[in-house]
Amino acid sequence: MTTVESPATAAERCTPEFRRNPHPVYADLRETAPVCPMRPPHGIDTYLITRYEDARAALADPRLSKDMYGAMDAYRRIFGDSSVALDDHMLNADPPKHTRLRKLVNTAFTPRRVESLRPQIQDLVETLLDACPTGQPVDLLPTFAFPLPIIVICELLGVPPDERAQVQQWSTTVAQTGFSKESRHAQQKAEQSLHAYFTDLLARKRSRPGEDLLSALITARDDDGGLSENELVSTAFLLMFAGHKTTAYLIGNAVHHLITHPAQLRAVQQNPDLVGPAVEEVLRYDGSVESATFRHATEAVEIAGTRIPKGALVQIALTSANRDPRKFESPDQLDVTRQGNAQNAHLGFGHGIHYCLGAPLARLEMQLALTGLFDRFPRVALADPTREAPWMEVPFPAFRGLSELSVVLEPATP
């Protein structure tokens, strides 16, 4: 899809053509309908925000609530009753509850704790790359991009190694659920299994605490006490779910775009100081979170001349905002040397009080993953350069990532 004649409908946003390349549709919306009313597959009218300044303001607007319990009827229709038990966490809360929850999680998820993981992540990168075959096609998603953040977040949380595959499978089912009856049933079973699992795991941590994040969360306290049992379970789920999906897709997106932009890849390989800026540029150019999680208007709000009525759902298109030419010069170009504030102004990790708590960990994993891969295999190439990139098809845009990344790894010549 390259053009739209009217504001995009949910159907247009769910077509294979859109999933392969959503940017022309978003470019049209930024000009013709920057706040676009639509009816997604879940059947609840939603307003989509596409321009950078509008998106940034909306992400921090207290009138756009993240407390989906305040929109319970809509929430239940979209996600089902079983989601409620896992969603009592800071991502779905407004102040003062959000402030309390984030403060408690911050006490356990410290920069020092994240930085202490550097040697472990470095070793894991090398171990995963050691296992990758050379000189023949290999899919980097299951062999490298997904195992890396999964193992890291499981180590951080304290999930035992022999239980990680099952937890990952449940999380994947939750993430890829559509709106059919069968899909909803699978989602509900996975959510119930995750709730039971984390309830049991937390009980084990209480009796045998360790140096892991869940043990720290159990003991975290502030003036109002600690996390309730349901808040602990929900926070464990949030950290597990958000801590690996987004980073895994981001690694795949980064590798794909650097390979298909060889001048940019050469710049990174020739100047290691560009690895950090390259991560930021990929977050802007094609980040793994296409749309922020739902908000709902607690009062009528006017954005870009469009009135959003009280009670309406709002979705913020981060992918569109990060390509807004009003903010970024030549936004459709990948440029790892992008200068000034534009380099870090992207909304890939959100903005405001809900800015991604795990951003430092994701950045660290990304930098070590790209450095390790391109140092070890400087001549990495797509297995079939003529094949169109297989972008993941999801029932409604939330994540943006590849379903496969088949490459040929060639080690450096002696």
Is residue 139 helix, strand or coil? strand
Interval 209-224 mean pLDDT: 84
Span between the terminal Cα atoms of the chain, in Å: 46
Cβ contact 91:384 at 8 Å:
no
Residue 190 pLDDT > 50, yes or no? Answer: yes
> Which residues pair with residue 313 across a beta bridge?
46, 296
pTM of this prediction exceeds 0.85: yes
Residue type, 155: E
Joined together, the tokens standing for residue 337 give 């040397």
Cβ contact 218:205 at 8 Å:
yes
Q: How confident is the model at residue 168 (pLDDT cuts 50, 70, 90)?
A: confident
Residue 225 pLDDT > 80, yes or no? Answer: no
Structural domains in the chain? 10-408 (1.10.630.10)
> What is the spatial distance between Cα 309 and Cα 49, in angstroms, rounded to a whole number?
14
Q: Annotate 120-166 with DSSP letters as a single string.
A: HHHHHHHHHHHTS-SSSEEEHIIIIITHHHHHHHHHHHT--GGGHHH
> What is the spatial distance between Cα 411 and Cα 350, in angstroms, rounded to a whole number?
37
Matching residue, tokens 């560009």: 274
Q: Which one-letter DSSP state was computed for residue 64? A: E
pLDDT tens figures, 87-124: 678 888 899 999 998 998 887 777 888 888 999 999 99
Residue-level pLDDT at 84: 59
Count of C-beta atoms within a 10 Å radius of residue 189: 14
What are the C-alpha distances in Å from 31 to residues 7, 98, 166? 10, 35, 45
> What is the spatial distance between Cα 325 and Cα 262, in angstroms, rounded to a whole number?
24
Q: Mark 248-260 as b/e (b = at least 16 C-beta within 10 Å).
A: bbbbbbbbbbbbe
> Which residues pair with residue 48 across a beta bridge?
36, 315
Phi, psi of 302 (to 5 degrees): -105, 125
Helices 275-286 and 262-270, packing angle to 10 deg: 150
> Which residues pair with residue 316 across a beta bridge?
49
pLDDT tens figures, 26-47: 999 999 999 998 876 656 678 9
Residue-level pLDDT at 5: 35
